[in-house]
Structure 1
Amino acid sequence: MELMDELTDAYLDNNFEHPYYLDLYTGQIILNMDEGYTGEPGIDWDDEESEERFIGIPKIDSNEAFYVMTKFAQRTEFDPEDKLFDALNGYKPFRRFKDTLYELNLWDEWNKFESKFAEDAILSWMEQYELNYDELKEKYKNNHPFHK
């Protein structure tokens, strides 16, 4: 897996009980939860270095996720009957949208679209915090022996 893949996965994990952090020293993504859950020790926030070392990765919220689904429904040529829009306008729109993606065999197109949106959001966040993606990517590769 590449750094951007991990960043977008963290961004798209809409479970707010899963706090992800980017380690600015190693380029690694840390899920900061109980060691019993992750198998890894959490971030030691009592260590003064931690506040400079780790930055929280933003998450997509439900309004933004709904917006992305709407944008996908608007541009898809594969849905001439507007089934995706119908799904979004009913009860449980997120569930119905995903069911309709399966029904229309658009799951791959949706994943590409959503991933592109997430990547753009991550790059914008990195720009806002003046994080250099290429430097972090190099650190990430150096700390993941299978990526050399």
Structure 2
Amino acid sequence: MLIEKLMVAYMDTKTSNIYYLDKNEQTILLDAIEHNGLPNLEFLDAEEPERFIEIPKVMNVESFSWMVEFESSNQNSELLHALNEEKPFDRFTEKVIELNLHEEWQTFQKDKVKNRIELWLTENKVKEMQKQPE
């Protein structure tokens, strides 16, 4: 369950949303950017600086590489063409739907995100959360 929530936070591309993992409580906290452009961070505990870690967000280059890999595994010239057009993210999504590959793409992308989050948990020495049943 937590891994799925981490995956959602990772895929949230809104720049105003910053997610933190509370390692003690094993919960995810959302911090919004204030009107002055700075994070709120009221919940951070100065006495336990290691308790909260910022959850990364997917980068465009990473998402694009997944699209390239998906196209490569499907060997579809229409998907390849979409990747080379203006606004490749929009065109790729449209083409995936048009070609009835949406479910396959969602599964592929979900696996990539899950692997990335599991790696992030390992890098941050949060192994006990990796083992939680889904």
Aligned equivalent of 2:84: 89
Residue by residue, what CA displacement relative to the aligned partner does 1:27-64 show, whole Å, maximum 9, x if unpaired?
A: 11111127xxxxxxx64256314522211111111111
Normalised by the length of structure 1, the TM-score is 0.76
The yes-or-no answer on 1:57 pairing with 2:55 is yes
Letter in 1 for 2:115: D
Aligned length in residues: 129
The amino acid that maps onto 2:17 is H
Relative to its length, the structure with more strand (as a share) is 2
String of CA shifts for 1:77-125, please: whole Å, max 9, x gaps.
6x4xx11110000111000000001101111111111111011111111
Q: Which residue of 2 is the match for residue 37 of structure 1?
A: none
Aligned equivalent of 1:141: none
CA RMSD of aligned residues (A): 2.5
In structure 1, how many angstroms separate the alpha carbons of the residues matched to 2:124 and 2:15? 21
AA at the equivalent of 1:67: S
What TM-score comes out, normalization by structure 2 length?
A: 0.84
Q: What residue in structure 2 maps to residue 48 of structure 1?
A: 46
Partner of 1:102: 97
Q: Following superposition of structure 1 onto structure 2, how do residues 25-40 of structure 1 map, counting pairs within 5 Å? A: 25-33=24-32
Structure 2 residue matching 1:52: 3-state secondary structure: coil
CA distance in 1, matches of 2:30, 2:100: 32
Residue 32 of structure 2 aligns to a residue whose secondary structure is coil
Superposed displacement of residue 136, structure 1: 7.9
The alpha-carbon deviation at position 15 of structure 1 amounts to 2.1
Aligned residues: percent identity? 33
CA distance in 2, matches of 1:106, 1:15: 26
Q: C-alpha separation between the residues in 1 aligned to 2:85 and 2:103? A: 23
| Distance verdict in 2 for CA 1:47–1:22, change over 3 Å | closer
Q: Which runs of 5+ in 2 are unaligned?
A: 34-39
Residue 108 of structure 2 corresponds to residue 117 of structure 1: no
Instruction: Give the stretch that moved more between structures: 16-25 or 128-137.
Output: 128-137
The structure where helix makes up a greater share of residues is 1
